[in-house]
Amino acid sequence: MSSVRQTSTLAIISLIAGILGWTVLPFLGSLTAIITGHMARGEIRREPARYEGDGLALAGLILGWVNVAIWILGVLAFVLFFGGLAWLGWANS
């Protein structure tokens, strides 16, 4: 007798949060996607006969990590640009 596997709720939340991280909740959504994505993958690996949805969790993780990387690069570019302008202003005075 085969039992029906249930999609992990955490995997669904991870995917939704990952999408929200790119739209409505830029940083908070991405962090939520990363946390719940890792939790979902662990849950699915611990009980593979009960849960499915590893692809959903992985998609949420990818969306979350890529968005966080873009945020970090954006902040770094901002600091380097305005830091460079400040340095040029200080060096020329």
**Each residue's pLDDT expressed in tens, for the chain with a length of 93 residues:** 468 999 999 999 999 999 999 999 988 999 999 999 999 999 999 999 999 999 999 999 999 999 999 999 999 999 888 887 777 777 666
pTM of structure: 0.86
CB 18 within 8 A of CB 60: yes
Phi/psi of residue 7, nearest 5 degrees? -70, 135
Q: What is the dihedral of CA 3, 15, 33, 47, to 10 degrees?
A: 10
DSSP type of residue 7: E
Distance CA 81, CA 38 (A): 35
